[in-house]
């Protein structure tokens, strides 16, 4: 974005064959930065996102190996029966080393690399934890398929429970921590940008195909340090595929996914340049309570950073409280993270966390929850993405 969210494209574009080397020398899980990302390159032969295409379900919930980069991104805000609040992220990434599906027949032959991020935020416990896994798309270790619809990396998985992928099950566990959730979309699929084509730069093809379920009723179990909790709440799903990279002046992005209490949702991203200005292609989507959606231009959105937070782990300083306004829709919100420290110190460092807000929407008081992703603060994404 995505988490999303396009918005994490460079990770996979940067990893490439470096991940293959990593797989040969490291265990599957890691909890600290260990992978030095190679410069992003757009390999010849991959398809580019040049124009809108018809989105067909369930096929387009599955993999798109003609494109170099893809991810399936789930985030959510959940509550337990005793009033404790939690945030979660589970994202599966695919990176193509060559276009299409490999024709090699060896059991471990692969031209697709997968990795995944899992994060849990325990607000009352004041703790945010994150994990990462890598694997090749071979021998059943990791992959994505349509029939039946499933994305997996070892025992972390998303499985569809109906024909169009709007009702799914998420499972991921690391020791005494993890989740087992059932998600059901309450609205039709959202097509961001121009009928699903979401530009990320001025160059032709520097774009992604970007679709979402912006409000998914969610329930199930969380495991935190061995404790089992029954939880319920709302999730957000992003799916993007592309062969793309940040523009030459871009250093990172801020991505907002907000679920308003009046039934609206707002997705907005802004791509930041080194001089502090924004890429003109920044933008978003407003989804009404009845599912109608409208594209949002940068000129319509006002964002003011009110506070900052400096990470003791990375030394990076991130925005940590915002005033966001979309006057054309009567939306004015004050947004803050549930916890300041929701930094993801994995193979690259970024901030991805659960947030809450209050304000007004359409002339009425409103509150809500969401997720925000911040990249390019610990280090520039230029040359990596």
pLDDT in tens, 188-200: 999 999 999 998 8
Instruction: Give pLDDT, residue 235.
Output: 98
Average pLDDT, the chain: 87
The pTM of this model reads: 0.88
C-alpha distances in angstroms, 261 versus 2, 61, 308? 22, 28, 26
Does 336 have pLDDT greater than 80?
Answer: yes
Alpha-carbon span 101 to 110, nearest angstrom: 8
Give the burial class of 54: count Cβ atoms within 10 A of its Cβ; 0-12 exposed, 13-18 middle, 19 or more buried.
exposed
Give the burial class of 179: count Cβ atoms within 10 A of its Cβ; 0-12 exposed, 13-18 middle, 19 or more buried.
buried
Give the mean model confidence (pLDDT) for residues 57-83. 95
Give the mean model confidence (pLDDT) for residues 118-125. 97
Tokens representing 282?
Answer: 């920044």
Q: Contact at 8 Å (CB) between 249 and 271?
A: no
Give the mean model confidence (pLDDT) for residues 229-244. 95
Q: Which of 31, 47, 157 is nearest to 91 (CA)?
A: 157
Alpha-carbon span 184 to 306, nearest angstrom: 35
Alpha-carbon span 268 to 296, nearest angstrom: 8
pLDDT tens, position by position, 142-179 = 999 999 999 999 999 999 999 889 999 999 999 999 99
Q: Which of 336, 83, 129 is nearest to 223 (CA)?
A: 129
Question: Residue 33: pLDDT band by 50, 70, 90 thresholds?
Answer: very low
Quickly name the fold that domain 9-374 has: AttH-like fold (2.40.370)
Instruction: Give pLDDT, residue 109.
Output: 62
Could you tell me which residue, 41 or 254, shows the higher pLDDT? 254
Spell out the residues 6+ positions from residue 200 whose beta carbon is closer than 8 angstroms to its own.
Answer: 6, 9, 206, 207, 208, 242, 244, 246, 247, 271, 279, 281
- Overall residue count recorded for the chain in this entry: 385
Q: Of the given ranges (107-111, 272-276, 309-313), which has the lowest mean pLDDT?
A: 107-111
Q: Which of 182, 151, 180, 149 is nearest to 57 (CA)?
A: 149
Question: Residue 104: pLDDT band by 50, 70, 90 thresholds?
Answer: low
Question: Residue 13: pLDDT band by 50, 70, 90 thresholds?
Answer: very low
Alpha-carbon span 377 to 350, nearest angstrom: 7
Q: Contact at 8 Å (CB) between 177 and 127?
A: no
């Amino acid at each position: 974005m995505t988490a999303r969210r396009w918005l994490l494209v460079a990770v996979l574009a940067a990893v490439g064959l470096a991940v293959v080397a990593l797989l040969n020398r490291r265990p599957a899980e890691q909890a600290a930065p260990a992978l030095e990302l190679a410069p992003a390159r757009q390999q010849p032969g991959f398809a580019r996102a040049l124009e809108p295409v018809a989105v067909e379900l369930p096929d387009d919930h599955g993999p798109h190996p003609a494109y170099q980069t893809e991810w399936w991104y789930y985030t959510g805000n959940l509550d337990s029966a005793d009033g404790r609040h939690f945030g979660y992220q589970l994202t599966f990434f695919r990176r193509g080393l060559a276009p299409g599906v490999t024709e090699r027949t060896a059991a471990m032959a692969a031209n697709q690399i997968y990795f995944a991020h899992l994060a849990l935020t325990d607000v009352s416990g004041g703790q945010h934890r994150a994990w990462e896994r890598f694997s090749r798309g071979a021998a059943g270790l990791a992959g994505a398929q349509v029939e039946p619809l499933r994305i997996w990396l070892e025992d972390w998985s998303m499985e569809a429970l109906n024909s169009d992928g709007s009702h799914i099950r998420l499972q991921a566990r690391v020791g005494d921590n993890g989740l087992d959730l059932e998600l059901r979309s309450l609205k039709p699929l959202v097509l961001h940008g121009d009928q699903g084509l979401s530009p990320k730069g001025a160059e032709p093809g520097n774009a992604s195909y970007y679709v979402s379920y912006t409000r998914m009723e969610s329930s199930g179990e969380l495991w935190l340090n061995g404790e089992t909790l029954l939880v319920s709440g709302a999730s957000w799903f992003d799916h993007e595929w592309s062969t793309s990279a940040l523009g030459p002046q871009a250093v990172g992005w801020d991505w907002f996914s907000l679920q308003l209490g009046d039934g609206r949702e707002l997705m907005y991203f802004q791509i930041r340049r080194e001089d502090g200005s924004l890429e003109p292609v920044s933008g978003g989507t407003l989804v009404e309570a009845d599912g109608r959606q409208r594209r949002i231009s940068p000129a319509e959105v006002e964002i003011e950073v009110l506070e900052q937070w400096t990470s003791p782990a990375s030394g990076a300083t991130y925005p940590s409280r915002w005033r966001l306004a979309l006057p054309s829709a009567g939306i004015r919100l004050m947004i803050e993270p549930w916890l300041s420290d929701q930094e993801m110190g994995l193979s690259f460092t970024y901030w991805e966390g659960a947030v809450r807000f209050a304000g007004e929407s359409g002339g009425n008081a409103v509150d809500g929850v969401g997720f925000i992703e911040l990249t390019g603060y610990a280090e520039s994404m230029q040359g990596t993405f």
